[in-house]
Amino acid sequence: MPLALYRYQPDSFTKAFTGPTNPLQNMRKCNKLRTLACRVIQDKFCGIINICVEALHDVMSEDPETGTSKDCMLMSHFEEPKLSDDEEPPTEQDKRKKLGLGAESKNLYPFLLPVIQLSTDVSQPPHVYLLEDGLELWLVTLENSPAVTPELLRIFQNMSALLELSSENLRTCFQIVNAYIYLSATEFLQNYGESLCQSFSDLLKDITNEGQVQVLKVVEIALKVSPILGAHMFQPLLPAVFRGIVDGERYPVVMSTYLGIMGRILLQNSSFFSSLLSKMASECGQEMDQLLGSVIEMWVDRMDNITQPERRKLSALALVSLLPSDNSVIQDKFCGIINICVEALHDVMSEDPETGTSKDCMLMSHFEEPKLSDDEEPPTEQDKRKKLLALEDPVHSVSLQHFVYEKLKAQQALMGDPGFGVLMETVDTVLVRQLQEFLQNL
């Protein structure tokens, strides 16, 4: 039948993919389907997507041989149908629009999940040919998944062996881990946190600085999404982070990530920070206060290593959260804490054009669906999850200006006006003046 007729006759299309088959016919089916997807009109093809998926599923069920599996994989990974011969090459956004994937992709799980399972299982020969495509399909499936399912969770059993490969696909593996954390942190970490931590521990023994940062970013995201459970599950990795800060890690990007992790713990899980500080003090043969002073001093000294505004604000929130305190070490480091707060205030404060007053530009009060132009891709389910998470993140829900003000007022109440005045005299007069300007309307 001429290809043009397939555009309008789904019944004829179905007949072409049914009936007795053999491996050679199966390969021809996949090739025909791929060719068809290139040539048909997009809106007509959408009407027979379900037929396509069923056909591919049947082919793979009948013939799991590598060649046919690879053809099916290529088809399942296929991008949006081409509309004309003179169409521009696909953009990066176009490449993310996989056939049938969206919020309703769960309807395709009976086909998608076995394909992902087969292509990412290193004990199965087909992974040699299918791994890269399989990982990409896995990632996009997670990004578009509205909720975790037992089957989707079970596929992660393949990840431990994939991380051991330390291949060029490692970055995609980390993205997949992050996607699971965003999708269902509690269920995921309870099932796989321990084994994942062990895999990361093995990786960190022999990995580049860039790879180390990728591992640590996963830990940082886990702490952001689930501060209590994340710290508990990745506890074995945190002493090395603590030592890296105290020793003054020389690689700026690694140091920045260390401080991001420690900032999350100090701000959102202070009891865990205290227990970690106690453990490290015992290990180093130092008093807890002495070690805390070393951490604050190094934090202040290496603040310039942190380039992301979010992490800079996080550092200020974390350190000023130590106030109010009558601890002599914290009071000795008061000037450094104020220095970091003023730097971060410069980063995040901007003038509100409506009121003419300064406000924290990182604050998010509600979630709005973005208005998209015709050529813009709608947000994935993961994009929406990130936005909702940001509404609960102190970096985006707590005003640094107000937080600093309240902490300083509490310190003043603790020490009394004379004592607080003496404490403020330890701060450079230029910093004091800038701080007063930020807080003057409160």
- Residue count of the chain, please give it: 442
Q: Is residue 350 within a helix (H) or strand (E), and if so which, with residue range?
A: strand 349-351
Per-residue pLDDT tens over the stretch 37-47:
444 444 444 55
pLDDT > 60? residue 243: yes
Name the least confident of 114-118, 210-214, 258-262, 369-373: 369-373
Q: How many CB atoms lie within 10 A of CB 405?
A: 16
Q: How many CB atoms lie within 10 A of CB 4?
A: 11
Query: What is the residue type of 154?
Result: R
C-alpha span between 423 and 425 (Å, rounded): 5
- Which residues make beta-bridge pairs with 360? 349
**To 5 degrees, how large is the angle CA 68–CA 69–CA 74?**
100
C-alpha span between 109 and 104 (Å, rounded): 10
Q: Which of 47, 49, 50, 39 is nearest to 1 (CA)?
A: 39
At which residue do the structure tokens 């991001």 appear?
Answer: 260
- Which residues make beta-bridge pairs with 350? 359
- Residue 30's alpha-carbon distances to 15, 52, 136, in angstroms, are 14, 10, 20
Per-residue pLDDT tens over the stretch 88-102:
444 444 444 444 456
At which residue do the structure tokens 């997949």 appear?
Answer: 176
Residue 249, SS3 per DSSP: coil
Query: Tell me, what's the pLDDT at 17?
Result: 52
C-alpha span between 241 and 232 (Å, rounded): 15
Query: Tell me, what's the pLDDT at 391?
Result: 94
Query: Tell me, what's the pLDDT at 191?
Result: 97
Query: Tell me, what's the pLDDT at 2?
Result: 37
Domain boundaries, the chain: 308-369+378-441
Beta-carbon contacts of residue 77 (< 8 Å; ≥ 6 apart): 98, 99, 133, 136, 137
Max mean pLDDT among 43-52, 59-68, 86-95, 252-261 falls in: 252-261
Is there a contact between 407 and 321 (Cβ–Cβ < 8 Å)?
Answer: yes
Per-residue pLDDT tens over the stretch 177-205:
999 999 999 999 999 999 999 999 999 99
C-alpha span between 215 and 207 (Å, rounded): 10
C-alpha span between 395 and 418 (Å, rounded): 33
Residue 349, SS3 per DSSP: strand
Q: How many CB atoms lie within 10 A of CB 428?
A: 12
Tell me, what DSSP letter sits at residue 48?
Answer: T
C-alpha span between 103 and 382 (Å, rounded): 10
Handedness of CA 164, 159, 273, 258 (dihedral sign): positive
The two tokens of residue 38 are 């290139």
